[in-house]
Amino acid sequence: MTIRYDDKVAIVTGAGHGLGRSHALELAKRGAKVVVNDLGGAKDGTGASSEAARSVVAEIEAAGGEAIANGANVADYTEVESMVQQTMDQWGRVDILVNNAGILRDKSFHKGSLEDFRLVIDVHLMGTVNCTRAVWEIMREQNYGRIVVTTSSSGLYGNFGQSNYGAAKMGVIGMMNTLVQEGAKYNIRVNALAPTAGTRMTEGLLPEKAFELLTPETVTPAVLYLVSENAPNRTILAAGAGAFAVARIVETEGMWLPPEEQTPEAIAAHWERISERGGERELTAGFEQSTKMVSQAAAGMGIKLD
């Protein structure tokens, strides 16, 4: 069955170039009305121009689709609110939000400035917060919403020189995990994309042949799936070069230590069992960790929990 977005309205941030452009074009090709948001700055966040967003809108319209351009800075909530209001004035709803906008200020932690750190957090994390907050009530009221946050292997696994970027990209995962719970009763599903693509943000960081394989177009199918009507929920979908995988945060089963052994020395002595991966599992809410540990303690102490 072909996945389409007829009568759906999508906002794609950072859609003037690279991944965002690809996402916007394909959503429109499959029937969505698209807000092409792009501040039009350089990859480090400096400058602004609406030319790139208008160019993507022109491509969509030339192919018979509907789109509007918007130059809101996602780090400015007032501008984001205006973008969402423009969308509502134009089409009366917002069904899909793809949080894609981003910048880079790569430097090793001891060399990077706090100003750069804050700026990257503001764009990637707070930009995602701002855009999601601005559409959240709309999606709740219409009882439908599909939101994608863009994470990164730098956040999930670390990457030298990207402590600021990695912190922001892991932050959106924490946000996703809670919004999944809060949005469930309103048919709002929230997922994360972990892309690997050859864009202006990765140019020069990858061998040329690898760069050629990692086109934005090989990542976009993952977004199309994550914002579809039958999308999963609370999923981190990694994509690049036409390969797709799911990343998960898991916790080992661990063990309970009796009071006399609740010491760092005992943890060291039992480390092999505490860190054993055989029984690890994915928890889906914070309280599950508490429940697991209290249950282990109760069993160890012979206490019956009501």
Residue with tokens 């999963």: 232
Predicted pLDDT at 41: 54
Predicted pLDDT at 197: 74
Domain chopping of the chain, boundaries: 9-246, 259-301
> What are the catalytic residues?
165
Dihedral sign from CA coordinates of 213, 219, 221, 222? positive
Predicted pLDDT at 140: 98
Predicted pLDDT at 42: 55
Predicted pLDDT at 47: 47
CATH of 9-246, one of 3.40.50.720, 3.40.710.10, 3.40.228.10, 3.40.50.300: 3.40.50.720
CA distances from 103 to 14, 106, 156 (A): 10, 10, 18
Predicted pLDDT at 201: 54
Predicted pLDDT at 198: 63
- 8 Å CB contact between 236 and 246: yes
Gap between the Cα atoms of 242 and 177, Å rounded: 26
For the chain, residues with pLDDT lower than 70 are 41-49, 198-206
pTM for this structure?
A: 0.94
